[in-house]
Amino acid sequence: MAVLRVWDGERPSDVIESYGLCRTTIYRWLRTAERGGWPALEAHLVMGRPLKLTPQQRWTVRAWIDGKDPRQYGYESGLWTRTIVADMIRTRFGVAVDVTTAGRLLRRLGITPQKPLHRAYERDPIAVEHWKRKEYPALQARAKRRGADIFFLDETGVRSDQALRRTWGIRGRTPVVPTTGKRQWVNAISALNARGAFWYRVFKGRLNKTTFITFLKSFLRGRHRPVLLVVDRHPAHRAALVAVFVQSTRGRLELHFLPGYAPELNPDEFIWHHLKETGISKTPLREGESLEARVEQDLGTIRQRPRLVRSIFRGRRVA
């Protein structure tokens, strides 16, 4: 269009101003059109420099990363970085690439930067699989025979301040965020089931066998059906005094324990994720506002939404 306007009699300076072009750009277009006509002005794909790695080498890079971590290749970090990938390409293929090229290669291979899920080394995958395939189905069958409800219970701590991660600031000036020892901290305990029932308490102080028994009594109050309560292996849950209390309920309560180091098996973990992602982090506390009151309010809102609780139980969240 710029070339046509000049050919129709407009001054190049007027065309440059209307389009915001660089002066050298329009004259280069005019020369190109004069030499080669309209086809010379068509856009063409610029192929760039050829890839340094063969197709086989590129798929070898993908195999390095798929399901593995750098520690298996002698690096200290368990996280893949472009620098590590570039170093492995250099040492194993004798091909020097920079981090930008390594990043482009990873994208072409369908590998993207992601936040990893952390798994403890002490985790027993056989026990986890046994729970999924054997223990939990047997627990469901037992609940059906007894006319009981299955609940999952868990605890967490909530802070008024968030761990320092990233903040916004002027380029070249590292922001300084003053911290204080006056932060608020509360604990919470909750239980939920697949039907959308939800119970919770907010408390201060540490969870021990005595406070856990107090919470169990509160949880059982008003319930007419037996409860099979699934918990993790926290010392307070496995205390002898707790076992004595469970026996004293004469079948109203049973405790069943998850495999160790497998928090993803407890749907109550999703409650805490939902609370922290949609509560304090989305609407920060105002000065003088009570964290305990806020957490009570947020958990009360969850209890009033059985559909949300059911979706959380299945490992999904709804708006």
Chain segment 99-108, per-residue pLDDT in tens: 888 888 888 8
Is the confidence at residue 232, as pLDDT, over 80?
yes
Q: What is the structure's pLDDT at 31? A: 86
98 and 219 housed in the same domain: no
DSSP labels for 72-118?
GGT-S-SS--HHHHHHHHHHHH-----HHHHHHHHHHTT----PPPP
305 and 224 housed in the same domain: yes
- Contact by Cβ (8 Å): 219, 191: yes
d(C-alpha 178, C-alpha 167), whole Å:
13
Is the confidence at residue 163, as pLDDT, over 60?
no
- Establish how many alpha carbons lie within 13 A of residue 149's alpha carbon, considering only the half-sphere containing its beta carbon: 19
- The model's pLDDT over 112-137, given as tens digits with 9 standing for 90+, comes to 887 665 555 456 788 989 999 999 99
d(C-alpha 157, C-alpha 292), whole Å:
11
Residue 120 maps to a domain: no
Residue whose tokens read 């750098």: 70
Residue 175 maps to a domain: no
Q: What is the structure's pLDDT at 153? A: 96
d(C-alpha 211, C-alpha 98), whole Å:
57
CATH number at residue 260: 3.30.420.10
Whole-angstrom CA distances from 248 to 19, 47, 213, 245, 251 are 84, 77, 12, 5, 8
Q: What is the structure's pLDDT at 122? A: 55
12 and 63 housed in the same domain: no
31 and 60 housed in the same domain: no
- Contact by Cβ (8 Å): 186, 203: yes
Question: How many independent structural domains does the chain possess?
Answer: 3
207 and 302 housed in the same domain: yes
Lowest pLDDT segment from 63-67, 182-186, 203-207, 214-218: 182-186
241 and 277 housed in the same domain: yes
15 and 143 housed in the same domain: no
| Nearest Cα to Cα of residue 193 among 150, 222, 231 | 150
Q: What is the structure's pLDDT at 317? A: 40
Banded pLDDT at 111 (limits 50, 70, 90):
confident
Residue 118 maps to a domain: no
Mean pLDDT rounded to a whole number for the chain: 84
Q: What is the structure's pLDDT at 159? A: 80
Lowest pLDDT segment from 50-59, 123-132, 302-311: 50-59
Banded pLDDT at 202 (limits 50, 70, 90):
very high
- Residue 138 token pair: 């047997």
Helices (H) and strands (E) in the chain, counts: 13, 5
Banded pLDDT at 278 (limits 50, 70, 90):
confident
- Residue 129 token pair: 């699989």
37 and 137 housed in the same domain: no
Lowest pLDDT segment from 46-50, 168-172, 194-198, 286-290: 168-172
Residue 218 maps to a domain: yes
Q: What is the structure's pLDDT at 169? A: 45
16 and 140 housed in the same domain: no
pTM of the model: 0.60
Please indicate whether residue 141 or residue 68 has the higher confidence score (pLDDT). Answer: 141
Residue 290 maps to a domain: yes
Banded pLDDT at 316 (limits 50, 70, 90):
very low
Residue 63 maps to a domain: yes
CB < 8 Å & 24+ apart, contacts of 46-52: 51/105, 52/95, 52/97, 52/101
289 and 248 housed in the same domain: yes
Segments forming the whole domain that contains residue 95: 55-108
Segment 250-256 shows an average pLDDT of 96
Angle at 84 between CA 78 and CA 85, to 5 degrees: 115
138 and 284 housed in the same domain: yes
Residue 167 maps to a domain: no
259 and 187 housed in the same domain: yes
Banded pLDDT at 24 (limits 50, 70, 90):
confident
Is the confidence at residue 195, as pLDDT, over 50?
yes
Q: Which amino acid is at 109?
A: L
Residue 87 maps to a domain: yes
Q: What is the structure's pLDDT at 6? A: 85
Banded pLDDT at 257 (limits 50, 70, 90):
very high
Is the confidence at residue 262, as pLDDT, over 90?
no
Residue % of the chain over a pLDDT of 90? 41
Is the confidence at residue 221, as pLDDT, over 90?
yes
